[in-house]
Structure 1
Amino acid sequence: MQSRQPLLTVQGVTLQYKTPHHLITATYRVSFDVMQGDRFILLGPSGCGKSTLQKAVGGYMTPTEGEMRLKGRKITQPGPDRMMVFQEFDQLLPWKTVKQNVAFALHASKRMSRREAEEKAMEYVSKVGLASFADSHPHMLSGGMKQRVAIARGMAMEPDILLMDEPFAALDALTRRKMQDELLKLWDETKFTVLFVTHSIAEAIKIGNRILLLSPHPGRVKAELNSTTDAQQAIELEQHIHQMLFSHEPEEVEHA
């Protein structure tokens, strides 16, 4: 039986950036594949290059070494086939309503008329449970609601891959758990592909079906693991990941 082709291929990618005094190596020869419909997690401690890696997938950085391909095409710049959702609440246009925020990118990209964009926007605003707030402005929304609008805006573009950089990190614990549940419910409905950055082991196990574990700076692939929905196995997996992250002994790359 022929294997499926990866949607996203990251091959031997080293990423570097300059500060006023130093050349920083964020990741070193990182490789992984993301398949269609994956909830693929980049997990690691602060400073391991996971957000930098995601920015490069978004087309905002060029690898020093290696390459990234989406649907076989080399990534060289940003594009509507990759939409990003950040952790900041203030990623919405404050003078536009919820519906207008979601419709804006659709109309501005000349994909559809204003009316078509508004209809598509309402479809996704409803999907994230905010239909009754469609005509509200961002200042009237809670942090969790603003994040739902940002997710709706990203999904409305129907990108090949949704890039989420710690989107729930700034939320309180209860809202964060609710948002995780809502994201999984959305995924059940649409099976969109997501590349999700987090430094929370529990969140990685809950959200992801596959987890790429990165070592501390510079980020190298420490392990690639399958997640689990079994409660006992999830506890064991969390302990295993914690041990790998915080053990100082050198170890081989692990695949599961």
Structure 2
Amino acid sequence: MQPLLDVSGVTLRYKTPSVLVTATERVSFEVNTSDRFVLLGPSGCGKSTLLKAVGGYLHPSEGEIRIKGRKVTEPGADRMMVFQEFDQLLPWKTVLDNVMFPLLNARKMGRSEARDRAAAYIEKVGLTRAMNSYPHTLSGGMKQRVAIARGMAMEPDILLMDEPFAALDALTRRTCQDELLQLWEETRFTVMFVTHSIAEAIKIGNRILLLSPHPGRVKAEVVDVEHASPTDGSAGRLEREIHELLFAQDGHGE
């Protein structure tokens, strides 16, 4: 069966004023429909750069990225992105208008249908009462829930999430993780999630791809993650195993 997303031998490079930086080197993986696929690695390993390439914002120096068999050459409504930053919402628009905006901009539907679709996803993230509020009146966690609703309202093939909860306090972060998993249980959307937290990767993902320190190379893939439980100690054991895999010497000088 053809994977939803196929990343094949992708090397990503970008220029700074003084040097050519290799962010990832020959990274390959597949994402299947309804996967909760996590990219995990230390800061600077290229995981966010790789996510942007899947989104079509960066072009590989080597290799290619395909979604449903089509080569990714530019951003598209089939890949919606949720960033870490709290200022990703349009400050002059209400919650409802923020969620409606991409629906109307993509000309996928009329205003009435867009309003109904947006309201339904706002309800799914528990923010119906804040529908007419402006972003500056919302907490960080609420802003991220609006961003998730906005991305999901487009009903993309894959939702790309770049450390969306990293800037939240610990309690809010845990609540948002739980809400994301509950939302996944309801709709079984496909998500590609970037984090440098092993505990978050285990909680969110059903598959975890481990990337080496800079430049990012595939070190290992961990599958059947959702069977790890914090109650029987298996999640803790898996966390230790992943830590050892991430930081094991592999002959590339990491």
TM-score by length of 1: 0.95
Give the drift of 1:95.
Answer: 1.0
Distance 1:230 1:94 in 2: 40
Q: Deviations over 1:175-200 (max 9, x none)?
A: 00000000000000000000000000
Q: Indicate which of 39, 50, 68 corresponds to 2:36.
A: 39
Q: Residues 126-205 of structure 1: matches in 2 within 5 Å?
A: 126-205=123-202
Give the drift of 1:233.
Answer: 1.6
Distance 2:5 2:66 in 1: 6
Aligned AA (1:233): S
Distance 2:46 2:6 in 1: 17
Q: Deviations over 1:70-92 (max 9, x none)?
A: 00000000000000000000111
Other structure's SS at 1:195 match: strand
Q: Indicate which of 40, 43, 48 corresponds to 2:45.
A: 48
Q: Indicate which of 72, 76, 79 corresponds to 2:73.
A: 76
Distance 2:237 2:35 in 1: 22
* Contact persistence 2:10–2:28 (CA under 8 A): yes
Distance 2:92 2:53 in 1: 30
Distance 2:126 2:161 in 1: 19
Give the drift of 1:245.
Answer: 1.7
Distance 1:65 1:129 in 2: 42
Other structure's SS at 1:90 match: helix
Distance 2:72 2:248 in 1: 34
Aligned AA (2:8): Q
| 1:242 maps to 2:243 | yes
Question: What runs of 5+ residues in structure 2 fail to find an aligned partner?
Answer: none
Percent same amino acid among aligned pairs? 71
Aligned AA (1:230): S
Aligned AA (2:49): T
Q: Indicate which of 87, 92, 96 corresponds to 1:95.
A: 92
Give the drift of 1:115.
Answer: 1.2
Distance 1:125 1:220 in 2: 38
Q: Indicate which of 217, 221, 226 corresponds to 1:220.
A: 217
| 1:230 maps to 2:245 | no
Structure 1 stretch 100-109 or stretch 148-157: which is displaced more? 100-109
Aligned AA (2:128): A
Give the drift of 1:230.
Answer: 2.1
* Contact persistence 2:228–2:238 (CA under 8 A): no
Runs of 4+ residues over 4 Å off in structure 1: none
Give the drift of 1:237.
Answer: 0.8
Other structure's SS at 1:129 match: coil
Give the drift of 1:244.
Answer: 1.6
Aligned AA (1:183): L
Question: Match for residue 64 of structure 1?
Answer: 61
Aligned AA (1:38): D
Give the drift of 1:249.
Answer: 4.6
Question: What runs of 5+ residues in structure 1 fail to find an aligned partner?
Answer: 252-256
